[in-house]
Amino acid sequence: MSDGESDDGSGEDGETFLGGGPKLEGVNYEAPWLEARAAAVDLNTVLAALGLQGVDLVRAQAGWSDDGQGVVFLKGTPSGARKLRAVLDRMTARDPDDSGSGV
């Protein structure tokens, strides 16, 4: 992990790491970030099970928007992005109830 963050999201000093963008005074970023972090941990478990590691790395990372909403970013290698696309293409091709909504 980068920026001093461990797999569980705590910093090297044991305090919670709030990775994101600039912070505005008076906005609570911690609770939304913790929710985004939990979602990112869950997603990273699935991404690893899909083999999106090593040269095919794709990882979810928690952050926040300017207004304090939690967000989850996906970061990865070009090879990983192509592999994730292929997995998603196969999944959508198998869905008999797909109405073409794109969701």
57 within a domain of the structure (yes/no): yes
Q: Assess contact for 45 and 60: CB atoms under 8 A.
A: no
100 within a domain of the structure (yes/no): no
42 within a domain of the structure (yes/no): yes
Q: Which domain holds residue 56?
A: 30-93
Residue type for position 1: M
Residue 51 C-beta-side C-alpha neighbours within 13 Å? 7
pLDDT of residue 66: 76
1 within a domain of the structure (yes/no): no
**Secondary structure of residue 46 in the 3-state scheme:** helix
pLDDT of residue 14: 43
pLDDT of residue 98: 54
18 within a domain of the structure (yes/no): no
pLDDT of residue 26: 81
The tally of domains found in the chain comes to 1
6 within a domain of the structure (yes/no): no
Low-confidence ranges of the chain (pLDDT < 50): 1-16, 103
- Tell which residue, 5, 15, 88, has the closest CA to residue 41: 5
pLDDT of residue 40: 96
56 within a domain of the structure (yes/no): yes
